């Protein structure tokens, strides 16, 4: 008894699983109810793997063992301990007698790459795949089921990822900073690689594999050619070796001018033989170290990055030289379409489409074009880019942002699964099948929100966005609410009221953010540079379309950006079946109104309010919704561990203050322009517009100091 007591005390001294957030959604809480636990134990007494012993399959078995030890409180055996014992059989088709026995009676189709079949059969749990990564994803699925106390007897699922390419993009620089990073700094300790392998690299790979992510780009799209120097390739290899057992491929960003900067050539012209040879040789060097290297992600001729235009070549010509170097090794090029002209044109919205549609079909087979969800830049809400429906002969990657550059950065709780759901489900061809965004793409990339913060994402609830990205990259039609609930249960435990409350908070948070920042289709009105806080008044930057003002153009009479045929006609870039609805403000969904139309303040909306009145009420509603979120959270006190409870409470307090700041500063400004009084129910801003304009935050994170 005494011994028991001292063990209990030690455990109470141990950091609770997950209490600092490091364990993410892999906390694997011990099943508390002893009867339930015993039932699971009896069902899962062993893990029998007939996997051929490859490293990914071994990882699958190890992760299953580790997770089940935590969930059940006992290590599963390595095979049936006694006759009649039940457990888990995992293996590749044709490699396991037990699985073949099952397959003789069940018709399990080809599971393809990374797919798996998880089923309860004759008292055992069977996990079958046609390649090793499938076993790994199946293992994590099974762990989620046990964590959620799913009845094992109900298991009968076949899962295949919707896309082959489910890739994180880190905007991490070699100096350790993270562009648009709000979770501390870069987790890649380049200086001490390849010798020093931080435990975090392994836990990173585990976390990503558990949500089906199979690739990662570890360098910033604002690229640095130094990554191709041989000592850095050795460092990259060390990372690739850690990721490989978790089914994750390493990618790097390729700076287009590398042949000059690193190679000493006097050109980077993609049609120059020396340049072609340089890339070929550099790719060989990479594959000599990393045989399954994923390929290159490239940002070219965008925001000052070098590219083929310097030589009068097209994006396709630029991409193809890299693609040809990679093709013999199975690598791909992901070429970003986030391009806008050096000089402000008619409408930035139009530019990527205008630039890339003529190139459709001109890229090599192993090139994908990566397109941000919307045509401007990751705003809280953007219409989807028309480019998704305009390059039918080119494989496309959707680029989503997980780090919340424009949605409150590190201080706001915003459940991005809601946004991702909207994007993926947007039907660009409503009059025919196959036109939803998730059907138009071959892969998804997410700009990572991961950093050196103990809890990986800085703001704890940023974990939910990372989780959601992974789950949607695998199964893009999953409902946001389902993802919220799943994440809550895995992260905070099984209490259904806790899960429900957190699901509510998350579900409320995205509409709230849009309301208190950019309601009714406002966009790009964040303060400039760091994008922290409001700045709709800013109108003095060197280029028209850098100015927040450009995106709403508010005057005494009206506000909004006309993208119809009377304006920039960006609407014409969409399929007619989609665009038709947006031509008329009366049929335009209110959430996109000011994206496409310029309207008088007195324009009457469907509900009866004027645009002016509705704008003010939406800002106020957003603030109140944050208050609701905070109320829900404080109701969870005592049911969440103290450390995470406090962390979230403190961040919600910041979010409340900042939501009010957004409301107050934006309405102080719009009021000054429109000359109209704030609607009833909207409090007067406590400071003057001049005071809001004078606020500076030179060290807002995620970008170089902004003096």
Active-site residue set: 303, 377, 405
Which token pair is 594? 């000011």
- Which residue of 643, 679, 687, 693 would you call a contact of its own copies, by CB under 8 A? 643
Cβ neighbours of 703 (radius 10 Å): 17
Of residues 196 and 365, the one with the C-beta less far from its own copies:
196
Residue 560 in contact with residue 489, Cβ under 8 Å?
no
Is residue 287 part of the contact set for its own copies (CB under 8 A)?
Answer: no
Specify the residue, 165 or 235, whose C-beta has the smaller distance to its own copies.
235
- Tell me the closest approach of the beta carbon of residue 251 to its own copies, in angstroms: 20
Closer to its own copies by CB, 153 or 191: give it. Answer: 191
Using the minimum distance from each CB to its own copies, give the nearer residue, 176 or 553.
Answer: 176
Cβ distance to its own copies smaller for residue 20 or 624? 20
Q: How many residues bind its own copies (CB under 8 A)?
A: 53
* DSSP 8-class letter at 706: -
Min dist CB 637 to its own copies, Å, is 17
Q: How many Cβ atoms from other residues are within 10 Å of residue 572's Cβ?
A: 15
Closer to its own copies at the Cβ: 64 or 579?
64
Residue 36 touching its own copies (CB under 8 A): no
Q: Using the minimum distance from each CB to its own copies, give the nearer residue, 80 or 176.
A: 176
What does the buried/exposed string (b/e) look like for 190-223 if buried means 16 or more CB atoms within 10 Å of the residue's CB? beebbeeeeebbebbbbbbbbbbbbbbbbbbbeb
Q: Looking at 155-163, 171-179, 510-518, 671-679, which segment touches its own copies (CB under 8 A)?
A: 171-179
* CB of 193 vs its own copies, minimal distance in Å: 10
Closest by CA to 685, choosing from 669, 707, 696, 697, is 669
Among 565, 566, 650, 672, binds its own copies (CB under 8 A): 650
- Return the SS3 of 475: coil
Based on the shown chain and the rule CB under 8 A, indicate whether residue 10 belongs to the binding site for its own copies: yes
Q: Are 638 and 700 in contact (CB under 8 A)?
A: no
Of 383-412, which residues contact its own copies (CB under 8 A)? 410-411
* Kind and range of the H or E run holding 537: none
Interaction of residue 97 with its own copies, rule CB under 8 A: no
Closer of 122 and 231 to its own copies (Cβ): 231
The yes or no reply on residue 344 touching its own copies (CB under 8 A) is: no
Minimum distance from CB of 94 to its own copies (Å)?
Answer: 35
195 forms part of the interface with its own copies (CB under 8 A): yes
Residue 705 CB, nearest distance to its own copies (Å)? 5
Stretch that binds its own copies, among 118-126, 129-137, 186-194, 519-527 (CB under 8 A): 186-194
Contacts of residue 254, Cβ cutoff 8 Å, sequence gap at least 6: 223, 228, 296, 297, 298, 322
Q: What is the CA radius of gyration of the chain?
A: 26
Q: How far apart are CA 97 and CA 48, in angstroms?
A: 11
Candidate list 185, 309, 311, 546; residue touching its own copies; CB under 8 A: 185
Min CB(261)–its own copies separation in Å: 11
Instruction: Report, in this order, helix, strand and coil percent for the chain, each rounded to 5.
Output: 45, 10, 45
Number of Cβ atoms within 10 Å of the Cβ of 369: 24
Does position 149 interact with its own copies (CB under 8 A)? The reply is: no
**Can you tell me the distance from the alpha carbon of 458 to that of 411, in angstroms, rounded to the nearest whole number?**
9
Between CA 245 and CA 562 the distance in angstroms is 51
Give the whole-angstrom CA distance, residue 509 versus residue 573.
Answer: 31
CA–CA gap between residue 299 and residue 313 (Å, rounded): 15
Residue 192 interacts with its own copies (CB under 8 A): yes or no: yes
Residue ranges in 63-92 that form contacts with its own copies under rule CB under 8 A: 69-70, 73-75
- Scanning 4-12, 54-62, 422-430, 509-517 for contacts with its own copies by CB under 8 A, the matching segment is 4-12
179 touches its own copies by CB under 8 A: no
Where does this chain touch its own copies (CB under 8 A) — which range of 119-127, 206-214, 534-542, 698-706?
698-706
Dihedral pair phi/psi, residue 427, rounded to 5°: -100, 105
191 binds its own copies (CB under 8 A): yes
Q: By the 8 A CB rule, do 45 and 76 touch?
A: yes
Q: Is 690 in the site for its own copies (CB under 8 A)?
A: no
Identify residues 660-679 at the interface with its own copies (CB under 8 A).
none
Of 193 and 367, nearer to its own copies (C-beta) is 193
Query: What torsion do the CA atoms of 378, 383, 389, 393 make, to the nearest 10 degrees?
Result: -10
- Between 70 and 399, whose beta carbon lies closer to its own copies? 70
Tell me how far, at minimum, the Cβ of 23 lies from its own copies, in Å.
10
Provide the strand spans (E) within 1-130: 47-50, 88-92, 116-121, 124-129
Nearer residue to its own copies within complex by CB, 187 or 322:
187
Choices 120-128, 150-158, 272-280, 696-704; region in contact with its own copies by CB under 8 A: 696-704
Nearer to its own copies, 61 or 370 (CB): 61
Q: Does 694 bind its own copies (CB under 8 A)?
A: no
341 binding its own copies? (CB under 8 A): no
DSSP label at 30?
P
519, exposed or middle or buried, with CB in 10 Å at 0-12, 13-18, 19+? buried
42 lies in the site for its own copies, by CB under 8 A: no
84: its two tokens: 């009649």
Token code pair at residue 95 = 């490699």
Dist CA 94 CA 245 (whole Å): 22
Measured between alpha carbons, how far is 314 from 320 in angstroms, rounded to an integer? 10
Give the distance, in angstroms, between the CA of residue 570 and the centroid of all CA atoms in the same chain: 27
* CA–CA gap between residue 355 and residue 299 (Å, rounded): 14
Q: Using the rule CB under 8 A, which residue among 98, 372, 647, 663 binds its own copies?
A: 647
Cα separation of 210 and 49, whole Å?
A: 19
Give the contact letters, 413-452, x = binds to its own copies (CB under 8 A), - = no.
---------------------------------------x
Applying CB under 8 A, does 32 fall inside the site for its own copies? no
The number of residues in the chain equals: 707
Inter-residue contact 135 to 60 (CB < 8 Å): yes
Tokens of 87: 């457990």
Q: Which region among 163-171, 174-182, 345-353, 541-549 touches its own copies (by CB under 8 A)?
A: 174-182
Kindly state whether residue 657 participates in binding its own copies, applying the rule CB under 8 A.
yes
**Backbone φ, ψ for residue 128 (5° rounding):** -120, 140
Binding its own copies by CB under 8 A: which of 164, 174, 260, 276? 174
Task: Tell me how far apart the alpha carbons of residues 406 and 58 are, in angstroms, rounded to a whole number.
Answer: 41
- Applying CB under 8 A, does 691 fall inside the site for its own copies? no
Least distance in Å: CB of 378 to its own copies? Answer: 20
Report the nearest approach of its own copies to the CB of residue 491 (Å). 17
Please report, as ranges, the residues that interact with its own copies according to CB under 8 A: 3-11, 13-15, 17, 20, 30, 69-70, 73-75, 174-176, 184-185, 190-192, 195-197, 199-200, 226, 410-411, 452, 454, 643, 646-647, 650-651, 653-654, 657, 697-701, 704-705
């Amino acid at each position: 008894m005494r011994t028991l007591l001292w063990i209990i005390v030690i455990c109470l001294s141990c950091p609770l699983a997950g209490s600092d957030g490091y364990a993410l959604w892999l906390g694997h809480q011990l099943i508390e109810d002893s009867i339930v636990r015993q039932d699971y134990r009896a069902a899962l007494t062993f893990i029998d793997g007939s996997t051929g012993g490859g490293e990914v399959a071994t990882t699958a078995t190890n992760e299953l063992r580790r997770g089940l030890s935590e969930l059940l409180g006992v290590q599963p055996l390595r095979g049936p301990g006694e006759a009649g014992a039940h457990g888990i059989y995992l293996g590749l088709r044709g490699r396991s007698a037990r699985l073949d026995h099952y397959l003789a009676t069940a018709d399990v189709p080809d599971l393809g790459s990374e797919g798996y079949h998880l089923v309860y059969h004759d008292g055992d749990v069977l996990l079958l795949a046609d390649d090793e990564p499938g076993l790994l994803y199946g293992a994590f699925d099974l762990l989620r089921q046990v964590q959620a106390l799913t009845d094992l007897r109900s298991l009968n699922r076949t899962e295949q990822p919707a896309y082959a390419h489910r890739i994180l993009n880190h905007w991490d620089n070699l100096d350790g900073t993270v562009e648009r990073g709000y979770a501390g700094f870069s987790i890649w300790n380049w200086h001490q690689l390849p010798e020093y392998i931080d435990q975090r690299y392994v836990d990173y790979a585990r976390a990503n594999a558990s949500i089906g992510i199979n690739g990662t780009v570890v360098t910033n799209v604002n690229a640095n050619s130094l990554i191709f120097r041989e000592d850095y390739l050795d460092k990259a290899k060390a990372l690739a070796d850690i990721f490989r057992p978790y089914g994750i491929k390493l990618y790097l960003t390729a700076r287009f001018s590398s042949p000059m900067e690193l190679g000493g050539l006097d050109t980077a012209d993609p049609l120059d033989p020396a340049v072609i040879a340089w890339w070929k040789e550099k790719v060989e060097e990479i594959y000599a170290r990393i045989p399954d290297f994923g390929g290159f992600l490239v940002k070219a001729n965008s925001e000052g990055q070098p590219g083929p235009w310097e030589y009068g070549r097209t994006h396709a010509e630029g991409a193809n030289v890299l693609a040809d170097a990679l093709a013999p090794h199975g690598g791909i090029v992901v070429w970003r379409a986030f391009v806008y002209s050096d000089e402000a044109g008619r409408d930035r919205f139009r530019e990527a489409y205008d630039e890339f549609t003529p190139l459709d079909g001109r890229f090599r087979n192993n090139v994908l074009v990566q397109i941000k969800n919307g045509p401007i830049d990751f705003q809280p809400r953007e219409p989807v880019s028309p480019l998704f429906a305009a390059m039918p002969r080119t494989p496309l990657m959707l680029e989503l942002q997980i780090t919340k550059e424009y949605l409150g950065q590190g201080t706001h709780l915003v459940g991005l699964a809601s946004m991702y759901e909207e994007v993926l489900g947007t039907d660009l061809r409503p009059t025919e099948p196959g036109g939803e965004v998730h059907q138009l793409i071959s892969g998804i990339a997410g700009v990572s929100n991961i950093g050196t913060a103990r809890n990986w994402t800085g703001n704890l609830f940023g974990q939910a966005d990372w989780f959601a990205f992974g789950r949607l990259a695998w199964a893009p039609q999953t409902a946001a609410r389902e993802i919220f609930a799943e994440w809550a249960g895995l992260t905070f435990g099984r209490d259904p009221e806790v899960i429900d409350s957190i699901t509510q908070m998350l579900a409320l948070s995205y509409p709230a953010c849009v309301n208190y920042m950019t309601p009714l289709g406002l966009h790009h009105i964040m303060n400039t540079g760091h994008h922290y806080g409001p700045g709709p008044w800013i109108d003095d930057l060197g280029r028209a379309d850098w100015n927040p003002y450009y995106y709403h153009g508010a005057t005494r009479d009206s506000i909004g950006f006309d993208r119809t045929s009377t304006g920039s006609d960006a609407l014409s870039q969409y399929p007619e079946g989609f665009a038709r609805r947006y031509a008329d403000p009366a049929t335009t969904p209110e959430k996109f109104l000011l994206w496409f139309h310029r309207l008088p303040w007195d324009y009457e909306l469907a509900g009866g309010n004027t645009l002016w009145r509705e704008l003010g009420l939406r800002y106020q509603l957003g603030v109140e919704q944050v208050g609701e979120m905070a109320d829900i959270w404080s109701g969870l006190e005592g049911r969440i561990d103290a450390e995470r409870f406090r962390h979230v409470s403190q961040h919600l307090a910041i979010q409340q203050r900042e939501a009010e700041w957004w409301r107050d500063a934006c309405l102080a400004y719009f009021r000054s322009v429109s000359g109209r009084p704030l609607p009833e129910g909207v409090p007067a801003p406590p400071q003057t517009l001049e005071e809001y304009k004078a606020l500076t935050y030179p060290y807002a994170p995620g970008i170089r100091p902004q003096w």
